[in-house]
Amino acid sequence: MAAKPQHKRKRSWEKEFYKNGVPAEVIVISDSPTPTPPPSRPKATNSSSSSSSGSHDSLYPANKRRYLLEPDHKRVYKNTSDLSINQNLSSFHFFPASTVYPVPPPPPATTVPALPPSSLAAAHLSTTLHQLPAATALQRKSIQTVATATTEPVEVYDDEDGHYIVRPNESLTQQYKIMRLLGQGTFGKVVECYDRVRRSYCAIKIIRAIPKYRDASKIEIRVLNTLKQHDPLNLNQCIHLIEWFDFRNHICMVFDLLGPSVFDFLKSNQFRPFPSTQIQKLAKQLITSVAFLHDLKLVHTDLKPENILLVGRTSKTDIRLIDFGSATFEKDYHSAVVSTRHYRAPEIILGMGWSYPCDLWSIGCILVEFFTGDALFQTHDNLEHLAMMNTVLGPLPQHMVLSANKEGQKFFYKESKKLRYPTTKTTKQSKKFVDALKPLEDIIAPEHNQHNIFLLDLLKKLLIYEPSQRISAREALRHPFLSCC
């Protein structure tokens, strides 16, 4: 009976309060004075209507009202349309219609210190971002996060010199798997790879990603294709090109995997010389390969122990001639300087031009190295090189001095045409090296040895100064040294 008067009072209060109709919405004006909160009413017991009047206060206490007015940083907005929906929801559902909430006071005014001109742009961007609505700022943060997450790091394949960065166990195309680095030179790198198609190991020459080396590699491919076309069975023991491809701007040439070079073999044996019988077999194979090149109107121009590979690690006499990157056809352009310094012919040093005979001079130097274990002319200076030749082979003929270019004639006296060595700039170490050399007859001492007698005779014909008088490759194949004993 005591609860009925309360219901009547509430109904009469609602009827009086809503006599002009129930309002459709509540409008809050930011500059209006804060309304006085309604007086607290005694909490009714056993009344559903009284509990409904206080339901919003219980759902939205003071500590949660602040949370609702602050941006929800955990919410992720997918697009702009979602933002507008969420804003509408927060406007009409976060605030109950029966209660008017005060607008939070604006933040206190602060004095911003003067910024230098370089910081104005950053300050303007920061101020604009803070003045944006919460949803817009969150959207911008979300977009930046997505962009950062989807950006992939750029993988680097070349070093600063254009060499391909070799990473073992990585794939060089789907067919080839890189196993290890075999060597590196000016042209690029050579790697050992596993061929997944042929199920065998191979060597791949990876050219540097530089235009001039790429162009040179295309000439080398042309030479290699010519060799394979004219000798499909490889009877002349020049390395054969299996295939080539362009991978990440690197020309890659695939070859059979061979053993170490003759130089590496000598090095692993403390540069001990080869026996006479092995020198004979190596010389015959090398001269056969060079004769085949000359028949095709090709000059190798870079013969040296590093470019002669043993077929297997156990073989000591079966070889393959490699590195045709400097090989030149007779009718093609001839560079002024070719060959590695220790094996360079005198006509190249004197600037007289060069042709097939320069390969035979290199063979002569190589055979002496096989016999002694050391390079014959270990120098890096033209004048010192000519001085060493003068000690081992005697003075150069005057007609070659007269045929030399201006740079070459500077090495000789004008009147006597003798070598201008030593000079005031010559070091004591240089004099020591030159004086330590012996004549060729003392280096290859016959001592009643048939091999040494024939070898010395062959070397004298290979190391003749005058190119036109030097023995040819086909003539050298008929020399007794290659068939004796």
If pLDDT is split at 50, 70 and 90, which confidence band does 481 have?
very high
3-state secondary structure of 207: strand
Instruction: Provide the annotated binding site.
Output: 205
Least confident of 20-29, 197-206, 359-368, 449-458: 20-29
- With beta carbons less than 8 A apart as the criterion, state whether 283 and 367 touch: yes
> CATH number of 159-257: 1.10.3720.10, 3.10.180.10, 3.40.50.2300, 3.30.200.20?
3.30.200.20
If pLDDT is split at 50, 70 and 90, which confidence band does 75 have?
very low
Residue 186 CA to residue 208 CA, distance in Å, equals 8
- With beta carbons less than 8 A apart as the criterion, state whether 30 and 103 touch: yes
Catalytic residue among 72, 302, 323, 442: 302
* 381 in active site: no
If pLDDT is split at 50, 70 and 90, which confidence band does 375 have?
very high
The CATH number of the structural domain formed by 259-482 is: 1.10.510.10
Least confident of 54-63, 190-199, 365-374, 439-448: 54-63
Kindly state the average pLDDT of the residues 200-225.
96
Q: What is the pLDDT of residue 316?
A: 76
Assess whether pLDDT exceeds 90 at residue 332: yes
Instruction: Provide the annotated binding site for ATP.
Output: 205
- What pTM, to 2 d.p., does this model score? 0.69
pLDDT higher for 286 or 10?
286
Assess whether pLDDT exceeds 50 at residue 63: no
Longest dimension (CA), the chain: 147
Assess whether pLDDT exceeds 60 at residue 451: yes
If pLDDT is split at 50, 70 and 90, which confidence band does 15 have?
low
Least confident of 17-21, 205-209, 257-261, 289-293: 17-21
Kindly state the average pLDDT of the residues 363-386.
97
pLDDT higher for 440 or 152?
440
Kindly state the average pLDDT of the residues 420-448.
93
The structural domains of the chain, with segments of one domain joined by +, span 159-257, 259-482
Q: What is the pLDDT of residue 484?
A: 82
Q: What is the pLDDT of residue 84?
A: 40
If pLDDT is split at 50, 70 and 90, which confidence band does 102 have?
low
pLDDT higher for 308 or 13?
308
Assess whether pLDDT exceeds 70 at residue 236: yes
Assess whether pLDDT exceeds 60 at residue 73: no
Q: What is the pLDDT of residue 24?
A: 63
Least confident of 70-74, 222-226, 233-237: 70-74
- With beta carbons less than 8 A apart as the criterion, state whether 181 and 191 touch: yes
Q: What is the pLDDT of residue 85?
A: 38
Assess whether pLDDT exceeds 80 at residue 344: yes
Assess whether pLDDT exceeds 70 at residue 355: yes
If pLDDT is split at 50, 70 and 90, which confidence band does 464 have?
very high
If pLDDT is split at 50, 70 and 90, which confidence band does 425 have?
very high
User: Does this chain's domain 159-257 share its CATH topology with 259-482?
Assistant: no
Assess whether pLDDT exceeds 60 at residue 430: yes
pLDDT higher for 106 or 397?
397
Kindly state the average pLDDT of the residues 201-208.
98
If pLDDT is split at 50, 70 and 90, which confidence band does 446 have?
confident
Assess whether pLDDT exceeds 80 at residue 231: yes
Q: What is the pLDDT of residue 154?
A: 79
Kindly state the average pLDDT of the residues 327-351.
96
Q: What is the pLDDT of residue 58?
A: 41
Sheet containing 188-195: order of strands: 171-172, 176-184, 188-195, 200-207, 250-256, 241-247
How close are the terminal C-alpha atoms of the chain, in Å? 141
Q: What is the pLDDT of residue 182?
A: 94
Residue 326 CA to residue 338 CA, distance in Å, equals 8
Residue 455 CA to residue 437 CA, distance in Å, equals 19
What are φ and ψ of residue 80, in 5° steps? -70, -35
Percent of the chain with pLDDT over 70: 69
pLDDT higher for 91 or 14?
14
DSSP 290-311: HHHHHHTTEE-----GGGEEES
DSSP 112-176: PPP--HHHHHHHHHHHHHHHS-HHHHHHHHHHHHHHHHHPPPPPP-B-TTS-B---TT-EETTTE
Least confident of 94-103, 179-188, 475-484: 94-103
Assess whether pLDDT exceeds 90 at residue 475: yes
pLDDT higher for 218 or 90?
218
Q: What is the pLDDT of residue 445?
A: 87
If pLDDT is split at 50, 70 and 90, which confidence band does 17 have?
low
Q: What is the pLDDT of residues 146-204, one digit of tens each?
A: 445 556 677 899 999 999 999 999 999 999 999 999 999 999 999 999 999 999 999 99
